[in-house]
C-alpha cells in the first residue's frame, strides 16, 4: 500500500493531473459539499467554523465557483509545495516490520521534486 501511495504522490509532483481526472475530482468535491450542507447540523458547524476562522460566512456557491476555477497547474504546484516539506509518517498493523523506512520513502518523494528525475517506483 505504501508503494501505491508513493507512486501516486510521484505522479502528482511530476505531472499536472489530466483534465478528465481533474474534472472528475472537482465534480466529486462539489457534490460532497452540497450533500453535506443538506444536513442541518453540518450547516451549523459550517457557519460556526467560517465565522471563527474568517469572520464571516460564505455561501455554498462561493465554494462551488472556487472549486470550478481550479486548474491542473494549481494542483501540481500545491502538490510540489506540500511534498517538499518533511513528511509525517505512521504505520499500524501486521507486517509493519516490512514497511519501507521513513528515509527511503522520503528520499524517493524528494527525488521526484528534482526536474532532472523522472518518476520510478521504489525497487
Contact of 99 with 121, CB cutoff 8 Å = no
- Residue in the structure block whose three cell numbers are 521504489: 122
CA of residue 10 relative to chain centroid, distance: 12
- State residue 115's pLDDT score: 58
> Mean pLDDT across the stretch 105-114?
81
% of the chain at pLDDT higher than 90: 29
% of the chain at pLDDT higher than 70: 93
Walk me through the domains of the chain, giving residue ranges and CATH numbers. Answer: 2-112 (3.30.830.10)
HEC readout, 63-74: HHHHHHCCCHHH
- CA 110/CA 24 separation, integer angstroms: 28
CA distances from 99 to 41, 50, 69 (A): 40, 39, 39
pLDDT-based confidence at residue 37 (cuts at 50, 70, 90): confident
- CA 8/CA 16 separation, integer angstroms: 12
- DSSP annotation of 113: T
- DSSP annotation of 121: -
Amino acid at each position: 500500500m505504501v508503494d501505491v501511495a508513493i507512486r501516486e504522490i510521484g505522479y502528482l509532483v511530476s505531472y499536472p493531473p489530466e483534465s478528465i481526472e481533474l474534472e472528475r475530482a472537482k465534480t466529486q468535491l462539489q457534490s460532497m459539499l452540497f450533500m453535506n450542507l443538506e444536513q442541518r447540523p453540518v450547516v451549523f458547524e459550517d457557519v460556526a467554523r467560517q465565522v471563527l476562522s474568517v469572520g464571516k460566512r460564505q455561501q455554498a456557491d462561493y465554494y462551488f465557483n472556487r472549486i470550478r476555477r481550479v486548474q491542473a497547474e494549481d494542483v501540481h504546484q500545491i502538490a510540489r509545495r506540500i511534498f517538499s516539506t518533511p513528511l509525517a509518517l505512521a504505520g499500524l498493523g501486521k507486517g509493519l516490520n516490512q514497511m519501507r523506512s521513513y528515509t527511503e520513502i522520503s528520499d524517493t518523494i524528494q527525488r521526484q521534486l528534482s526536474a532532472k528525475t523522472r518518476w520510478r517506483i521504489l525497487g
